[in-house]
Structure formats: C-alpha cells, structure tokens
Amino acid sequence: MAEKMRRHFLRDREAAQLLNEFLSKFKIDIEQLLGSKLRIELIETQAGIFYSINGKPLLALINGTLSPTLIFEEVLHLFPKIVVNMGAVSHICNGADVMAPGVVRIEKEFKANDWVVIVDERHSKPIAITVALTDSDTTRGLKQGKIARNIHYVGDKVWSQMKRI
C-alpha cells in the first residue's frame, strides 16, 4: 500500500518564517546560499515533516527540531566536522552516538551543543548530523566515551523517507 503524503507550497510569509528560524538556529542564511527565489514545499509523511527547497528535501523536523538533511551539501560544508574511522561508520549508521575511539580528526572548532557533521575518513562523505557533547579542544583529548549525540544518519527513517520524496 502506498504511503500517504500531504504536500503544499508555503506562502511567502510561511517561507520567510522558516528561513528566519533556520537563520536564528544555525546562523546560516539559506537565501544567500541558494538564491532569493526559493520554492519551499512542506511535505507531511508518516515518518515526519520535510521541507523541499527547489525540489530537494533539504530540511526536516527531527524530534520536533528543524534540521538540515544529509543531502543539504551547501549547508553541511559550513558545519564543523568530525572525521571517523571506517570501523565506526557501521555503528553510526545504525544510530549509535559517536564515541571518542573512532575519531580520526576534527575539522573546525565547535562548542558543546553545537551541530557537527560526521564524515567517514575514506570518502569524506557525510554519514550523520550530531550535537557535540563537549567542545572541540576537550574532544581532541578524549580517549573514551561519547563525544556527540546522533540526530540524523544514513539509513534512519528520515533518510529512507527522503529517498521516496
């Protein structure tokens, strides 16, 4: 049975509110990245709410929080990155939080509670969006324990639903 999706384009005022919410949360102006003539479509699915910008599902509400999706490359390259070894990839892509032993290096500085992208060491592909549990300097010194909470990862319900949109 086909999954039901409700879709509609946002009015200018609604689109402006969404863009302002993203700007205030991430300090990134989507219009500056993608241009000012954005067509934003709200897509409601059983898996959640997505915002398609110019035909791509670039934003999602994940656990009630607005987040970029893993395909929003223009935004993800602006985030700090934690590079993990290939042994950690399968665990992270199964929903595990990021652990200190899997970290190869950290790119860009971050503070605790900042959003951080996790990339694999071989291809530098984004595999997860996380929230840092400590700052980058502290994280560099850790040899064990959790360092980032997994929010959205390759293979989760958001990822699976994006592929259908």
At residue 148, φ and ψ (nearest 5 deg) are: -150, 140
Residues in the chain: 165
pLDDT tens per residue across span 136-162: 999 999 999 999 999 999 999 999 998
pLDDT tens per residue across span 114-127: 999 999 999 999 99
In the 8-state DSSP scheme, what is residue 3?
P
pLDDT value at position 2? 59
Cα gap 150→163, rounded to integer Å: 20
Task: Answer yes or no: are the C-beta atoms of 116 and 82 closer than 8 Å.
Answer: yes
Residue with tokens 């219009």: 31
pLDDT value at position 46? 84
* Lowest pLDDT segment from 2-6, 34-38, 125-129, 142-146: 2-6
Q: What's the whole-number average pLDDT of the chain? A: 95
For residue 30 the two structure tokens come to 């989507």
For the CA atoms of 103, 107, 113, 115, the dihedral, rounded to the nearest 10 degrees, stands at -100
Distance of CA 89 to the CA centre of its chain: 16
Indicate the residue type of 144. Answer: Q
Task: Answer yes or no: are the C-beta atoms of 115 and 26 closer than 8 Å.
Answer: yes
pLDDT tens per residue across span 57-108: 999 999 899 999 999 999 999 999 999 999 999 999 999 999 999 999 999 9
pLDDT value at position 137? 96
Domains of the chain in start order, with CATH, are 6-74 (3.10.450.120), 76-158 (2.30.130.10)
Where does the pLDDT of residue 54 fall: very low under 50, low under 70, confident under 90, or very high at 90 and above? very high
Per cent of the chain over pLDDT 70 is 98
Cα gap 17→101, rounded to integer Å: 40
